[in-house]
Amino acid sequence: MSYKGPKFIVVTGGVLSGLGKGIATASIGHLLSGRLNVIPIKCDGYLNTDPGTMNPIEHGEVFVLDDGGEVDMDFGHYERFLGVTSKFSWNLTMGKVFKMILDRERRGDFLGQTVQFIPHVTDTIKECIHSIAKAERADIVLIEIGGTVGDMENELYLEAVRQLRQNVGTDNIVFVHLTYVPVPSGIEEQKSKPTQQSVKLLNERGIRPDLIIGRGPEMLTNKIKQKIALFCNIEPEAVISGADVDTVYRLPLVYEKERVTEILHKKLKIYSPPSLGRWAELVDRMMRKEGKTPIRLAICGKYVNLHDSYASILEAISHTGAHLDAACQLVWVDTTEIENGKVSLDDALSGIDAVIVPGGFGTRGIEGKIEVIRVCREKKIPFLGICYGMQLAVIEFARNVCAISEANTKEIEADGFTVKEPVVCILPEQQKIVYKGGTMRLGGHDVVIVPRTKAEQIFRAPKIRRRFRHRYEINPEYVSRLKEKGMVFCGHDPSGEIMQLMELPDHPFFMGCQFHPELTSCLDKPDELFYNLVKAALEKKRSSQKM
């Protein structure tokens, strides 16, 4: 009986972590998504149920899905490249998988069997994959295996996808292996040995790659392609260059030039030609240097040592730059150094055209952020506060405009402080929460836009849907006092109780949002708040240059 289900593309990695499997997976999916329904699945080896409780400095950004799932930042690449709205079930972690197994064992589902890694864990992984494919009516299922081949944490995933090939047949699954081709200093020659060893490890697990993508500082030479093909039992044309690019959005164009689409069509017996014209145009506009107005945009936070903590914000800025022909030059400001007096406010904001204060948690660096916000308000520097950034903007306004000198957030009481004027308080439904993971106000929620506000001009809709990740809100008891002094709450939840957008009407651009606009920005449609922040900075700069 012939197989009639979806096709599978499994992406593994070797040699070292951080090579960009997520971007490679998303780029391959982008090439096939023109006519086919492409669904991504990410398999992570860690025992956390999700990355929601992990430190951003250790793990990078937590990407929040519309259904409230907290997932790996690779899902940001999937959504931006594939145009899909991902679901929490598409992210398998070993913590999730083991919990499923243990719950089933307690219910007696295994009928007294000894529960083992094989077949019970591997069967559960395969069941999850098939269940997602069926529920989403997928034509192509992309499966990214986190980590590198040889890691203990991903062995069960590798065994599961090896078995998957046996189940669906070799014509219905392709294995793509991303590896590293270094050019050692002083030798100036591409080296294939790391790739050979990585592929050997993969072979030992019963998997032979159909495509090998060689990541490195330059395009692979024909010589190195031939060598990799010889030692890895693969056709030379299936050895693909994954050279460093000026922007990750160029990678689908590189893969298409390397004939990845053609190879996948042939191996999987499918046909879905990519449409890359508009994509290529936007990528070129994003990276073009000539004729652009330079904008110095400061990101003021406490995780600035790891830029991946703000990955989606950086993407949203790139999207905006492509559409406005602005050259956004990022300036990273560590607000803890302002708070500790190591860096002066004047030095930190010297020559800055716009400021973003992103989300975050805890007390460290917040007084530095509040001082940055004050300068933006007083000196009319375009400003966008996101989540915690909006809350701190309200606190700054309460202190310095409403004369509520002890205004603060209840969040800092967890660190032993006493808050006499809680302008920001905990959401009522969060007051009895004990567990930290997955318990915030998460995911997509509707935002009602108030008429005759700047927000209405920006969004041009009575209601929008955006993604949230927070426990605290603007205290309703202080809203009227803030409004009396000129703060406008221009967006709220459908009940009218939770303030979700604020603006100052007498400012070129001063807005705060409780949601995370960066999570829904994409290359062909940049987020409106980022777009208008940069637009305001451009207009202010051009106006000052004419004077």
Q: Annotated catalytic sites, by residue?
A: 387, 516, 518
Residue 466 contacts residue 516 (beta carbons within 8 Å)? yes
- What's the CA gap between 359 and 387, in Å, rounded? 5
Residue 19 contacts residue 185 (beta carbons within 8 Å)? no
CA distances from 203 to 149, 150, 354, 475, 533 (A): 10, 11, 52, 59, 51
Helices (H), 169-276: 193-204, 222-232, 251-257, 260-268
Of residues 294, 279, 280, the one with CA closest to residue 324: 294
Helix/strand/coil for 191? coil
CA distances from 47 to 50, 107, 161 (A): 8, 22, 19
Residue 37 contacts residue 139 (beta carbons within 8 Å)? yes
Helices (H), 274-331: 277-287, 311-324
Q: For residue 246, which amino acid is it?
A: D
Which H or E element spans position 480?
helix 479-484
